[in-house]
Amino acid sequence: MLEDYKLKFIEFLVDQQALQFGEFTLKSGRISPYFFNASSFNTGAAISRLGYFYAAAIQELAPDCTIIFGPAYKGIPLCISTVSALSTHFNKNIGYFFNRKEIKTHGDKGILVGQMPTTHDQIVMVDDVITDGATKRESLKLVQQLTQATFSGVIIAVDRMETNAEGKDTLTEFQTDTGIAVKAIVSIEEICNYLLERKINGTVYLTDSTYRRIEAYLQTFRIRK
């Protein structure tokens, strides 16, 4: 049985139309029967609610974390909404920071913005998905060079559980190479098992026929159980 926050997150995904079923051409060229679009969380209420789910996942993966990092650009609103949710829902008042794409040479100079981590901090990175892992690896290298702080985990929204364009398991490779655990709030398998023929606010979002298409897709590209 999935944790309550995961079930609510799945319902939140379809309610916000961040998770859609149909036929979508991915960046890799694959034709996917579903699509996750984090840009759908584009209101104050939505991003605030999203922060709660990241905060709940952090409580499981790295409850002792002391600061949240969001890689530019999508990670910026995520790190802010996550620390806000940690304060509101879990009575945990910690800092956040993010990076700029380019170094600022005037005013608030530098490439990191927010609370600067120390060598004693335990950092959790928050982002929407992990595709090839390049952005997260670059972010790790940048932050560790500038602060020598320790990362205790990475939280993403959805684990597609499939190979990348090169046929590799990006998530597992990232964990192996960096020694840093990656936790998805939910996986596509958990989403499918919960939504199959279930009415959410009177609507069935995942029919049996669509479920079978996702199963066939994962049989071709799936890399993890």
**Three-state SS at 36:** strand
Catalytic residue among 27, 92, 101, 104: 104
Residue 106: active-site member: yes
Question: Are the beta carbons of 78 and 51 closer than 8 angstroms?
Answer: yes
Say how far apart CA 131 and CA 66 lie, in whole Å: 26
Q: How far apart are CA 120 and CA 149, in angstroms?
A: 7
Spatial distance between the Cα atoms of 139 and 120, rounded to a whole number of angstroms: 18
Task: Identify whether the C-beta of residue 51 lies closer than 8 Å to the C-beta of residue 84.
Answer: yes
**Could you confirm whether 27 is annotated as catalytic?**
no
Residue 117 DSSP label:
P
Nearest to 136 by CA among 102, 167, 99, 81: 99
- Start-end of H helices in 62-165: 75-90, 134-147
Catalytic residue among 101, 106, 109, 199: 106
Structure-derived torsion over alpha carbons of residues 225, 206, 47, 63, reported in degrees to the nearest 10: -30
148 — alpha (psi -120 to 50), left (phi > 0) or beta?
left
Rounded Cα distance between 107 and 27, Å, is: 38
Query: Which residues carry out catalysis?
Result: 104, 106
